[in-house]
Chains A and B, each alone.
Chain A
Amino acid sequence: MTSLRAMHPVAAALRHPSLAGGSAIMLLVLGLALLSFVWTPYPVDAISAAERLQTPSAAHWLGTDQFGRDVLSRIMVGARNSIAVGVVAVSIGLFAGVALGTWAAARGGWADELVMRTSDVVFAFPAIISALLITAFLGPGAVNAIVAIGIFNIPVFARVTRGAAQQVWGLEYTRAGMAIGKGPTRITIDHVLPNIAPVLIVQATIQFAVAILAEAALSYLGLGTQPPSPSWGRMLFDAQTLMALHPTLAIFPGVAIALAVLGLNLLGDGLRDVLDPRLRVWRMVT
């Protein structure tokens, strides 16, 4: 048996089934999304009365919708929208959340209380409810959906960061840093952030999946991506009344959402195993 330590990290990672499966799925989704920038089988908004509601065929691999638009093309561009929403929303949550979390951990006392209690309040609302509230306030639209999903991500990251950072603050080398005169900012950058990065990467992957689901939900409710711009959630909504006659219209975007969420969760799972030092030790022992 080859020792994991002797292997190239990428090769090691690929031996992890969740990580490999998750990566493969996400590469496929990402590939389709990137491809849609340069090529889709048909123009994504091309409406054609003659070609509407076709079942999957050689010409239209996933069939056409009620306006005669190619479903595969729309799923590809929809992937792009979902990923864009995920990336931006998670970034908002990550940057703001990490800033707040590290501040809370470094400062302690009232700052800690303020950040954590505010997070608790925001947490009390389920993610989708917060997003609904925010889009109701800002109005429907893709950008507002991104902001809404980003905002409900902030306390998630703030909490995770604060917990992990507090642990690091309690360790001896941090104390040593303090002893040689490093300030809280210095310590946060030099010691805390590198050490909590794995936790954040895993959390970001999970939140990415949550963001994709939330975007689909908001678009389904008419509050997210606006037509004619394609979105998986919106496609599900449009398919709703056509379910009895043309079930594939609901199945394909549904599968796309499920696959993306599954892929990200597997990826997150795998990354946690690979990145978490404690688990790494455990894996090497077994």
Chain B
Amino acid sequence: MAVDTTKNAVPFEMAQIPGPEMAKAYNTKVIGAILKKAKRPLLVVGAELFEDPVMFDKAIEIGKMGVPIAATAHTIKGFIERGYTENVHMIGLHPLTSYLRFKDWQGLDGEGHYDVVIFMGIFYKFASAMFSTLKNFNRDIKRVSIDRYYHVNADMTFGNLAFNPDQYHEAVDEVIAAMAK
């Protein structure tokens, strides 16, 4: 049975209530379908992957499906250690978000802007604020979180799965499966 990722949709840091526009929690199939439909998606991964190394493998799975990966903080190291650097770009989350807010930016590969960004494994408060930048200053990009937290400033997110790693892993696997369909 699919993991219910729509439950527990309260901000991970409970006081993180931005205003009238707050994220909806979606099930894995819907998120997977949206990501599959994306023309220029970008997977953005952060240093929390080191705390749950299996997530590197899941990121690589997504990368192998043709989704370029922005390896923020020092996560590039995890990809190098796993021998996968094909479409992995080393860049800080902060400058990346800064570029993403400009509509004339041509992307990490110079091939054009992105229509969907997918955050995973990023320190919660930091990711939330970067989502907020995009939410307010470039609304052309769809903001998707497949992190273990309910991300209030995303467009689409899971509910909180932070305390159930198995369910969280399963949920990400389901998204990947839906993308592959």
> Do these two chains really belong together in a complex?
no
